[in-house]
């Protein structure tokens, strides 16, 4: 399978909206557009996963610095269309991400994985990612 990885130019990032809607259809497209616009201003990048010219997956990217880990690449909304899963694309993406992180001077790669996502947890741990904590969230009444 001919798979390529390429950063999506910030002026073209709306191409990921259908994939994001697949991840969570409860968020309207207008809200996603608004959030994406603000994320881009804060340094968000995204790698597209392509089969020929078809966008079959994506992975959001942030280069961050935190006290406990230093400069690192934080992955956001890693997604591959279901019909392309379990074909080695995730491993190829992980290899691409490692090279990208090194090119940006990062010492580590981090991500969040939902606690109910058993296949995701298995994939990341199989690829040498270690769970180091829990991600908590408190919704605020606005």
User: What would the mean pLDDT of 76-85 be, rounded to a whole number?
Assistant: 95
- pLDDT for 38-47, tens place per residue? 999 999 999 9
Each domain of the chain, given as residue ranges in start order, spans: 3-113
Percent of the chain with pLDDT over 90: 94
Q: From CA 98, how far away is CA 109, in angstroms rounded?
A: 8
pTM above 0.95, yes or no: no
* pLDDT reported for residue 15: 97
**CB of 19 within 8 A of CB of 48?**
no
Q: Which of 48, 52, 49 is nearest to 2 (CA)?
A: 52
Fold (topology level) of 3-113? Aminopeptidase (3.40.630)
Q: Which of 99, 105, 5 is nearest to 51 (CA)?
A: 5
Q: From CA 44, how far away is CA 67, in angstroms rounded?
A: 20
Q: From CA 12, how far away is CA 37, in angstroms rounded?
A: 11
Q: From CA 9, how far away is CA 46, in angstroms rounded?
A: 8
**Structure confidence at residue 71 as a pLDDT band (50, 70, 90):** very high
**33-61 CB burial, b ≥16 within 10 A, e <16:** eeebeebeeeebbbbbbbeeeebbbbbbb
Q: Which of 116, 67, 115, 119 is nearest to 131 (CA)?
A: 115
Helix (H, G, I), strand (E, B) or coil at 129: coil
């Amino acid at each position: 399978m001919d798979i390529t990885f390429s950063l999506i130019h910030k002026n073209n990032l709306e191409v990921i909206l259908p994939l994001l809607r697949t991840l969570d259809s409860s968020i309207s497209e207008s809200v996603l557009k608004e959030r994406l616009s603000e994320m881009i201003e804060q340094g968000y990048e995204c790698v597209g996963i392509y089969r020929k010219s078809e966008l079959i997956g994506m992975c959001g990217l942030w280069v961050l610095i935190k006290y406990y880990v230093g400069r690192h690449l934080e992955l956001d909304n890693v997604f591959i269309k279901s019909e392309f899963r379990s074909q080695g694309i995730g491993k190829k993406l992980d290899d691409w991400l490692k090279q990208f992180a090194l090119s940006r001077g990062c010492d580590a790669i981090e991500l969040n994985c939902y606690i109910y996502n058993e296949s995701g947890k298995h994939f990341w741990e199989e690829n040498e990612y270690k769970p180091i904590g829990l991600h908590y969230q408190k919704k605020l009444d606005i």
